[in-house]
Structure 1
Amino acid sequence: MQRRQLLAGAAALLSVPNLASAEASDVRIARQPSIGHLPLMIMEERELLQKQAAARGLGRIGVDYVTLAGGAAMNDALLSNAIQFAAGGVPPMILLWSKTAGSSLEVKGMAAMNSMPLLMNTNNPAIKSLKDFKRTDKIALPAVKVSVQAVFLQMAAEKELGEDHRNDLDQLTVTLSHPDGMAALFAGQEITAHFTAAPIQELEARRPGIRTILNSFDILGMPSTFNVVWASSKFVNANPKISEAFMAALEEAIGIIQADKKAAAASYLRLAKDPSDAALIEQILNDPQVRFTTTPQAMAKYYEFMYRTRLISRSPKIWTDLFFPFLHAKDGN
C-alpha cells in the first residue's frame, strides 16, 4: 500500500508542468514597411515561427507582428518588453548594445537580414559631389543624426571633405519618412537631395532629372548589412527554443525569397501595401548587390566609426561580441 502511494505521488509530480522551464506562449516581433524586412513579412504570412516552434515541442505559440517607424521606437519598445524582437538598421542596434552590454538589460543581435546599398539622389544638376552642397540645400533622410543614412552621410563627408568636416552636412539634414522624402524631392522646392532605401531610391531614379550621387557600398568600400534583428539577453536566455525557432524561421524565409523572387516580390507588395509595380520589386530582388542573408557584413566599419566619433561609449573587440552565439560560426565581418 505504502509503495503504491509513493509511486502514485511520483507519477503526480511527473505530470506537473515544469513552470521554471516554461517558455513564453506569446511573442511580438516588430518590423518596418521596407523591402529589407521582407524575410519577416514572409515569416508572418507563412507562420514560419509557429511552425518551427511546434517542431521544437513548444506547441502552438501566439506570434504578433507590429510595424514601428525607426530604430529609436524599436529600442524603446524592446527595453519596455512591448516587443521581444526588434528589426531595423545597424546603428540603433549597436547603440543599444553599447548602452546595455554587461547589464541586466543587455541587448545583442540575433541575425542580419540582408546586404543592400542605400542611395542618395538629387534633383539639382549642379550637385555632382558633397562639395557642391550649399547652405540653402536640404537633405532628407529618415532620422537626423541617428539613422543609418545619417551615419553614412557623416562617413562620406569625412572621406570626401576631411575629418574636420565630418559633421558639416548635418545642418542641412531634415527628418522625413521615405515616401515624404520622395514627394519633397519630386516637388523640387526645399529638398534638393534624399538619402533613402529600396524601393524608394529606385522609384526616384526613374524620374527624369533625378541622379544618384552616393552609394553606401562605395562609402564603406564593401557590401554591408542594412537591416538586423536584435533582442534582449534576458529573453533569449529564458526562451532558448523560441530563439532557436526564430533563427530557423528566418533562415527558412530567406530560402523562400531566394528560391522564387517573383513570388517574393508579390508577397512584399501585398504585405507592405506598397503601390510600386511588381516588375520593379522583382528587379530589386534580382540586383546582384542585393542579398538576403543572416551573415553580418561590415559590422566593424560601423562600430569603429561610431566609437571613434563618440556615437557609442564602448566598442566591440570583434563583430561576434555584438551577436548571440547563433551566428558565431558564420563568416561575418
Structure 2
Amino acid sequence: MLHSFRAAWSARIRPARRVAAAALAVVVGVSALGLPRHAMAEGQIRIAEQFGVVYLLLNVARDQHLIEQEGRKEGLDIKVDWVRLSGGAAVNDALLSGSIDIAGAGVGPLLTVWDRTRGRQNVKGVASLGNLPYYLVSNNPNVKTIADFTSKDRIAVPAVGVSVQSRVLQYAAAKQWGDKAFDRIDGFTQAIPHPDATAAIIADSSVITAHFGNPPFQQQELAQNPKAHIVLNSYDVLGGPSSATVLYATEKFRNDNPKTYHAFVAALAQAAHLISTNPELAADIYIRVNDSKIDRALLLKIIRDPQVQFKIAPQNTFGLAQFMHRVGAIRNEPKSWRDYFFDDPATASGS
C-alpha cells in the first residue's frame, strides 16, 4: 500500500483542499448510494470507520460477523453496512446528514458534535475503541519538541482543528505556552489521510515534515525512515493511557433501535476479548479486512504493546473535554465524561 502512495507523493504532496474535496466527495457518495437520510429501522446499521489499527475492534466485528451473531440473540437479522471515511469532519458530516448510524473518530470530533447537537440530535459516545498512544513523528532532525516547529514545517493530521490529533496538539501547545496560545501550531497543520502522510514521511518528503498519526502508520514511519523520530506522545499530553478514538451515535438511533444498538455494543465487547486472547488471529483479520501489506511481525508488536489496551470503556477523556471548553472550542461545559457518553453498563467503568 505504502509503495503506491510513495510514488504519488515523491514529487509534491497534494494540496489540502484536494484532500478535503475528496473527503467531501466520499460523504456525498455515501448519500448518493440510495441510503436513507434518516435513522434506519431496527435490524439495520451503517458504520463509518477510518484507517489504522485503532479500528481493529471494528475489523474483528466485521470479519467474524459478531454484530450479526449478537443480533440473532435479539431475534434480529441485522444488515450491516460499512463506510470508510477520512477525518473527523467528514465523519461528523456523514452522521448529521443521516448517511451513517455509528461514527468512528477521535474524542475531539465527538466533543465537537456533542456540543453542536446538544438539545437537538444529542450525539453521544457509544464506546471506546481502546487505548492506543498516538505519536507525532517528524523527519526533520531539527525538531525535537513542538517548540522547534517553524513556518517551513507542515504537520499532517486527518482533519485540521477538529481531529483528535489536532486537539491533542492544541492541548500540548496550551501546556507549553498557555491557553491563549493553544492554536499556535495550527497554521503548520495540513489535512492529509494517514496512508498518504505515512508515504510522505517514509519517502523523506521536504513538504510534509511531520505526521500526527496512529498505529500502524506511526510505527511504519519509524521503522522505514531512519530520520523519523517521535516528537510527542499523546499519553504524555493526556496524562496516561487514554481513549483517543471512539464510536458515537445520535440519541434517535439509540432510542429507535435498542436491540440493534445492544447487539453492536455486545459485538464490540466480544471483539475486544478476541484481540486480547488471540492476537495472532486479530493480526490476520486486520491484514485481511484492510488488504494490508504491513509486516505481520510489526503488526503483532503493536497489538501486544503493553501500552495498547483493547477495551470498550472510555478512559481518560475528560481532561481533553475540559481543555476544549476552557479555550472555547466547545460552548457547553461537560461536568463529567458521562455527559458526552450514553449511559450503558458495558462502559460504566469509563472516565
Check whether TM > 0.5.
Answer: yes
Secondary structure at the counterpart of residue 253 of structure 1: helix
Partner residue of 1:158? 174
Structure 1 counterpart of 2:97, one-letter code = S
Task: Kindly provide the CA deviation profile for residues 171-198 of structure 1, in whole angstroms up to 9, marking residues without a partner as x.
Answer: 1111111122122223331222211111
Q: Assess if the C-alpha contact under 8 Å between 2:141 and 2:227 holds in 1.
A: yes
Partner residue of 1:204? 221
Partner Cα distance (1:49, 1:249) in 2: 5
Secondary structure at the counterpart of residue 157 of structure 1: helix
Cα deviation for residue 46 of structure 1 reads 1.3
Report the TM-score, using the length of structure 2 for normalisation.
0.84
Partner residue of 2:127? 111
Q: How does 1:28-47 map to 2 (within 5 A)?
A: 28-47=46-65
Structure 1 counterpart of 2:164, one-letter code = V
Report the TM-score, using the length of structure 1 for normalisation.
0.89
Partner residue of 1:218? 236
Structure 1 counterpart of 2:108, one-letter code = P
Q: Assess if the C-alpha contact under 8 Å between 2:43 and 2:257 holds in 1.
A: no
Partner residue of 1:93? 110
Secondary structure at the counterpart of residue 307 of structure 2: coil
Aligned match of 1:282 in 291, 300, 303?
A: 300
Secondary structure at the counterpart of residue 124 of structure 2: strand
Cα deviation for residue 163 of structure 1 reads 3.1
Secondary structure at the counterpart of residue 185 of structure 2: helix
Unmatched segments (≥5 aa) in structure 2:
1-39
Aligned match of 1:73 in 83, 87, 90?
A: 90
Secondary structure at the counterpart of residue 212 of structure 1: strand
Partner residue of 1:231? 249
Q: Assess if the C-alpha contact under 8 Å between 1:111 and 1:327 holds in 2.
A: no
Structure 1 counterpart of 2:214, one-letter code = A
Structure 2 counterpart of 1:323, one-letter code = F
Partner residue of 1:83? 100
Partner Cα distance (1:231, 1:138) in 2: 33
Aligned match of 1:122 in 138, 141, 154?
A: 138
Query: Over aligned residues, Cα RMSD in angstroms?
Result: 1.6
Q: Assess if the C-alpha contact under 8 Å between 1:121 and 1:213 holds in 2.
A: yes
Task: Kindly provide the CA deviation profile for residues 55-87 of structure 1, in whole angstroms up to 9, marking residues without a partner as x.
Answer: 1122x2211112122222222222222211111
Partner Cα distance (1:155, 1:80) in 2: 29
Partner residue of 2:330? 312
Structure 2 counterpart of 1:197, one-letter code = N
Secondary structure at the counterpart of residue 88 of structure 1: strand
Structure 1 counterpart of 2:188, one-letter code = L
Partner Cα distance (2:93, 2:144) in 1: 38
Partner Cα distance (1:252, 1:270) in 2: 19
Aligned residue pair count: 310
Unmatched segments (≥5 aa) in structure 1:
1-21
Q: Assess if the C-alpha contact under 8 Å between 1:139 and 1:172 holds in 2.
A: yes
The structure that has the greater radius of gyration is 1
**TM superposition outliers: structure 1 runs of 4+ over 4 Å:** none
Partner Cα distance (2:44, 2:293) in 1: 32
Q: Assess if the C-alpha contact under 8 Å between 1:114 and 1:293 holds in 2.
A: yes
